[in-house]
Amino acid sequence: MKPLIREMAESDLLQVAELSRELGYPGPLEDLRARFALLTKAGEGGLFVAERDGAIIGFLQVAVRMPLESPVHTEILALSITGRAQRTGAGRALVARAMAFTKERGITSLRVRSNVTRDVSHVFYTQLGFEKQKTQHVYALPLRVR
């Protein structure tokens, strides 16, 4: 059965937090709520859930990227399908929504960065027609803010 793909609502966040945890991001629900509120206020959209039989089985965040030195594109920032629902077409359906989000804005490129350790995701994205562009290291600098 095809999942229902719809915009994420505040009331979905508890289940989204559980999925995030599964993906390896165990942050507090309150932090998720605060970021959801900011994103909603910004009004850019890009937050979607996949629902089947009334339960959230996956979620997607896609956002517009506008670097000065390269063409505007969209990027999948998060995509997670719960273990029990994997391989049932929900990931494909959410990526189709990301493609529609991209085209609706007249943008012609959708990107995703995926950890080299996520073997399944590499098969998945390749199967969906994504082509590997490059491999990167990610650096972060912790800063104190008063």
Ligand X SMILES: CC(C)(COP(=O)(O)OP(=O)(O)OC[C@H]1O[C@@H](n2cnc3c(N)ncnc32)[C@H](O)[C@@H]1OP(=O)(O)O)[C@@H](O)C(=O)NCCC(=O)NCCS
| CB nearer ligand X, residue 37 or residue 120 | 120
Shortest spacing between CB 81 and ligand X, in angstroms: 4
**What is the C-alpha radius of gyration for the chain, rounded to an integer number of angstroms?**
16
Which parts of this chain interact with ligand X (CB under 6 A)?
23, 79-81, 86-92, 112, 114, 118, 120-121, 123-124, 127
Shortest spacing between CB 103 and ligand X, in angstroms: 19
| CB nearer ligand X, residue 30 or residue 119 | 119
| CB nearer ligand X, residue 37 or residue 100 | 100
d(CA 130, CA 18): 28
Shortest spacing between CB 62 and ligand X, in angstroms: 11
d(CA 4, CA 23): 21
Shortest spacing between CB 32 and ligand X, in angstroms: 17
| CB nearer ligand X, residue 40 or residue 86 | 86
The residue among 102, 10, 95, 20 whose CA lies nearest residue 50 is 95
d(CA 117, CA 107): 29
Structure token digits, residue 67: 């670097």
Asked whether 95 and 128 are in contact (CB, 8 A), the reply is yes
